[in-house]
Amino acid sequence: MNVKDMQKAHNLLAEYKYELGKLDKGYTNRTLYVNLSDQRIESKQVTDLMKEKFIGGKGFGLWYLWNAVTSETKWTDPENEIIISSGPIGGITQYPGSGKSLVVTLSPLTGMPIDSNVGGYFGPLLKFSGWDALEIQGKAEKDVIIYIDGNEGIARIEEAPLEAVDGHVLGEQLTEMYAVSEEDKRNISVVTSGTAAEHTLLGLLNFTFYDIRRKVARLKQAGRGGIGTVFRDKRIKALVVKFKGVKGDLNHPADISQINKAGIKLHKEISRLDHVQNRMRQIGTANIIEIMDEYDLLPTHNYKYGSHPDTYKIASDVFVKKYVTQGMADGCWYGCSLSCAKAADNFKLKTGPYKGHCVTIDGPEYENAAGLGSNCGIFDPEYILEANFYCDTYAVDTISFGTITAFIMECYENGILDKEKTGGLELNFGNADAALELLHQMSRGEGFGKIAGQGVRRMKKMFVEEYGADPDFLQDIGMEQKGLEFSEYLPKESLAQQGGYGLTNKGPQHDEAWLIFMDMVNNQIPTFEDKAEALHYFPMFRTWFGLNGLCKLPWNDIAPESNSSSDEPAKIPEHVQNYVDIFNGVTGKNIDKEELIRQSERVYNFQRIFNIRMGYGKREHDRIPYRSAGPVTVEEYESRKERYDQQLKEVLDFDPKGKTTEEKVKELRSYREEQYEKLVDAVYLRRGWTMEGVPTVEKLKSLGMDLPEVVEVVSKHL
């Protein structure tokens, strides 16, 4: 159907005209509030308290959500909100990785606030259109599009009955609809979900940026926690922002020279060093597939193993040589010379509703190759790309899908599931056809795909109640925590990474703390105190990117030549100073690296208390499935028998000779579970929390975060 006909079918429900205003030191000082239930659009002031305590980005999102919901609010309630904000640094063009949007809502999977950091142009264009955040509440009666024109000063809610739902189609349709020329397409960014978000709890959001060389609207994902499911539950078909005139000084920074200086320095490092460090400009995050395999960290067969003989079939060079387009500019925001947003062009689909179509696929990212591939025992690069594409356009979180499918496959191979229960799907490890059909069923809301789309936590409960499965076994092998599926690293031999997953605010996602190499490979944090310090610093530091609209990859995926001789090489101190400089350059403040951490601590502790307010966020919720800490099955132990036997002898003074494997599994488990609990104690102590994981009033006062409504929640649990 012609996009002009689609647009003619739009019904204008509300229109709001606004003064364009002017950014000052990274802020517009206002938020666009849209209520879909009563078709209301308003401007809300961004207060000094918000800027001081919450900075921007996910900080603003958490604050708005806190004030919108109660402890009883469910994700399906109209009161639940979706908030998108980029933060004060977001949108600068001089420093790599400065185009991120942060999305916050109540998660369908966890029942708690979820935040997701995503590329694409939407966040910066929203800011340049005059808004520090977009706050959406209520539910529409029919499918709607929210349209913002930042040059004309217009925001609209439009009923949109005819457009597609799947991300790659709708992104193209709306980019063409609202652009007046081919050149104008780069001034538009679209946020979409997809058909699977209507039938699962795994829905993601796609954020577009128009690739002028490939002439296609590319997709980046706010993937975790089911944000897209909330989006479609609110009957939002898409968000569209249009702004023409991007340039380097639109944030009206206090001192642009500080920003320019830091940016030039990093651009030079990337140009000089990337090809010998991480090859981000060649293959992006997929550069570590074979490295993870080499160090026994690549999740394989539902995290049973950390490597596989067939990994070479999906190694990064396979994608470089055969699929991913080379020699193209691949940044997902202006000025990002790290250029990690890789794409496979003209890929011909073999299955599903778009069979035979030649498409552009963003990726593969490492998480996709590991989750869709090795974790499911599927070592086929074309399957990984096809599943990657369909996850994106259907709006299914690739991490959750990979971990869910791997869990199902292990249940299938253990007789908990069979063909009758799965509707004919033979979900053995390695069955790519069955995995793809499961994904297509999610899109259609049919068959076993509808069950899989509820996530690992709900499947565990169902398999026990309906199929008589052993609840202890499912708890051990079901790789979810707080209701969120694990991302794709095997933490068995890294106690710090177990904590990096278990002690997160939103669930086991590596963006808070990726400590495997520091801990397991380099042995830089040997004691509980060392690990606790790392599990304090790195989650706080990484939180800061989400407050400011930044990508974390330019921080540690490129390192100065002198970094190895610095006092704390794991922190990349020269780059930490860069972030201090660009924050001060934009905002005119005078923070140092210590205040940077305190900014994050305020929001991090607030999010923990938000979780507690919603009935979660305490010690019992920080426990992890045992498979993330050690071998569950005899087969698993035997695969690394020499390693585990040696640990029993040297660490536990336990002689494995003459013992059954079951006895050895039990002995090792007792030790490792005890180690995890000791780590939790150490981390809580370092963070200023009680031994139940509750931030103390004294800690909040020390941070200046003792807001009355926050203290009220905490006081009930002390």
Contact 113, 107 (CB under 8 A): yes
For the chain, give the mean pLDDT.
96
CA dihedral 226, 230, 236, 242 (to 10 degrees): -60
Quote the distance between the C-alpha of residue 188 and its chain's center.
23
Q: Is the pLDDT of residue 436 over 80?
A: yes
Instruction: Compute the average pLDDT of residues 204-208.
Output: 98
Return d(Cα 80, Cα 106) in angstroms, integer: 7
How far, in Å, CA of 479 to CA of 628, rounded?
7
Cβ neighbours around 534 below 10 Å, total = 23
Q: Residue 1 above 90 pLDDT?
A: no
The answer on pLDDT for 329 being more than 80 is: no
Q: What angle do CA 295, 299, 300 make, to 5 degrees?
A: 110
Segment (H or E) for 145: strand 144-149
Query: Two tokens at 230?
Result: 């909330």
What is the structure's pLDDT at 280?
85
Q: Report the pLDDT averaged over residues 426-441.
A: 98
* DSSP label at residue 566: S
Concatenated DSSP letters of 425-450: ----TT-HHHHHHHHHHHHHT-HHHH
By DSSP bridging, strand 11-17 and strand 113-118 are unpaired
Phi, psi dihedral angles at 159 (to 5 degrees): -70, 130
Look at phi and psi of residue 111 and say left if phi exceeds 0, alpha if psi is from -120 to 50, else beta: left
Is the predicted pLDDT of residue 79 greater than 80, yes or no? Answer: yes
Q: Which residues contact 253 (CB under 8 A, 6 or more apart)?
A: 25, 26, 92, 259, 585, 586, 587, 588
pLDDT band at 643 (very low <50, low <70, confident <90, very high): very high
Q: What is the per-residue pLDDT for 268?
A: 95
Alpha-carbon span 491 to 497, nearest angstrom: 6
DSSP secondary structure letters along 340-360? ---EEEEEEP-SSTTTT-EEE
In sequence order, the β-bridge partners of residue 136 are: 34, 82
Judge contact between 409 and 376, C-beta under 8 A. yes
Measured CA distances, 338 to 265, 266, 267, 275 (Å): 13, 10, 8, 11
pLDDT of 89 higher than 90: yes
Look at residue 490 in the predicted model and tell me its pLDDT. 96
Report how far residue 650's alpha carbon sits from residue 154's, in angstroms, rounded to the nearest whole number: 69
Cα Rg, the chain, nearest whole Å: 24
d(CA 36, CA 127) in angstroms, rounded, equals: 21
Cα dist from 369 to 131, 293, 304, 415, 576, whole Å: 36, 12, 17, 27, 30
Query: How many residues make up the chain in this entry?
Result: 718
CB atoms within 10 A of CB 488: 28
The most confident of the ranges 124-128, 266-270, 327-331 is 124-128
- pLDDT value at position 512? 87
Compute the average pLDDT of residues 625-632.
98
Please answer whether residues 68 and 79 qualify as being in contact, where contact means their C-beta atoms are separated by less than 8 angstroms. yes
Average pLDDT of span 179-188? 97
Q: What's the pLDDT score for residue 281?
A: 83
Amino acid at 140: A
The three-state secondary structure class of 455 is coil
For residue 522, what pLDDT is reported?
Answer: 87
Model confidence at 613, pLDDT cuts 50, 70, 90, reads very high
Q: Which residues of 273-293 are buried (b: 16+ CB within 10 A; e: fewer)?
A: ebeeebbbbbbbbbbbbbbbb
User: Model confidence at 284, in pLDDT bands (50, 70, 90)?
Assistant: confident
CB 67 within 8 A of CB 135: no
- Find the mean pLDDT for residues 104-120: 97
Residue range 670-704, pLDDT digits in tens = 999 999 999 999 999 999 999 999 999 999 999 99
pLDDT band at 202 (very low <50, low <70, confident <90, very high): very high
Mean pLDDT of 253-269: 96
pLDDT category of residue 326 using cuts at 50, 70 and 90 = confident
3-state DSSP assignment of residue 112: coil
Q: Which pLDDT belongs to residue 294?
A: 96
| pLDDT band at residue 709 using 50, 70 and 90 as cut-offs | very high
Q: How much is the pLDDT for 513?
A: 85
pLDDT at 22 (0 to 100): 87
Instruction: Calculate mean pLDDT across residues 392-421.
Output: 98
DSSP assignments along 6-71, one per residue:
HHHT-EEEEEEE------BTTB-SEEEEEETTTTEEEEEEPPHHIIIII-STHHHHHHHHHHH--T
| pLDDT, tens digit, 9 for 90 and up, residues 545-583 | 999 999 999 999 999 999 999 999 999 999 999 999 999
The per-residue pLDDT for 517 is 87
pLDDT tens profile 304-323: 999 999 999 999 999 999 99
- Cβ atoms of 94 and 103 closer than 8 Å: no
What value does the mean pLDDT take over residues 416-441?
Answer: 98
The per-residue pLDDT for range 17-48, each reduced to its tens digit, is: 999 988 999 999 999 999 999 999 999 999 99
CA dist 237 and 296 (Å) reads 42
Helix (H, G, I), strand (E, B) or coil at 473: helix
Largest CA distance in the chain: 80
Give residues with Cβ within 8 angstroms of 335, minimum separation 6.
92, 93, 94, 95, 96, 98, 248, 263
**% the chain with pLDDT above 90:** 94
Phi and psi at residue 34, in whole multiples of 5°? -125, 125
pLDDT in tens, 213-246: 999 999 999 999 999 999 999 999 999 999 999 9
- The per-residue pLDDT for range 345-354, each reduced to its tens digit, is 999 999 999 9
What pLDDT shows up at residue 311?
A: 98
Angle at 686 between CA 508 and CA 604, to 5 degrees: 50
